[in-house]
Amino acid sequence: MINKVALGEIVYCNLEIKYKKKTFNLERIVYKNDGKLFYHMARLKALKIIEPVEIKSIEVLARLGFENKNNEKQNK
């Protein structure tokens, strides 16, 4: 990967993905790092891909932070 993205980090980036020995470029997307696969099915359906794909490289344009995992209820 071109830029390191921490697990759970959300970035605005360009992705290069690999599917069945073909390479595709996805530009200007928001991506949350859940591992080595890209799962955003709405983007993949446009390419006629029906399963998660391997990420070949990431070019980070902006770092947006991490998902808020605070699920505690506020006391009233």
Residue 52 lies in a domain: yes
Do 57 and 2 meet the contact criterion of CB atoms below 8 Å apart?
A: yes
**pTM of the entire structure?**
0.74
What string of DSSP letters covers 55-71? EEEEEEEEEEEE-----
Provide the number of structural domains found in the chain: 1
Residue 50 is predicted with a pLDDT of 86
Check if the beta carbon of residue 9 is closer than 8 Å to that of residue 32.
Answer: yes
The CA distance from 6 to 45, in Å, is: 26
Host domain of residue 42: 9-65
Answer yes or no: is 76 within a domain: no
Position 72 scores a pLDDT of 54
Residue 4 forms part of a structural domain: no
Q: What H or E segment, with its residue span, contains residue 29?
A: strand 22-32
76 residues of the chain, pLDDT tens digit each:
446 888 888 899 999 988 888 999 999 998 888 877 777 778 888 888 888 888 888 999 999 888 877 765 554 4
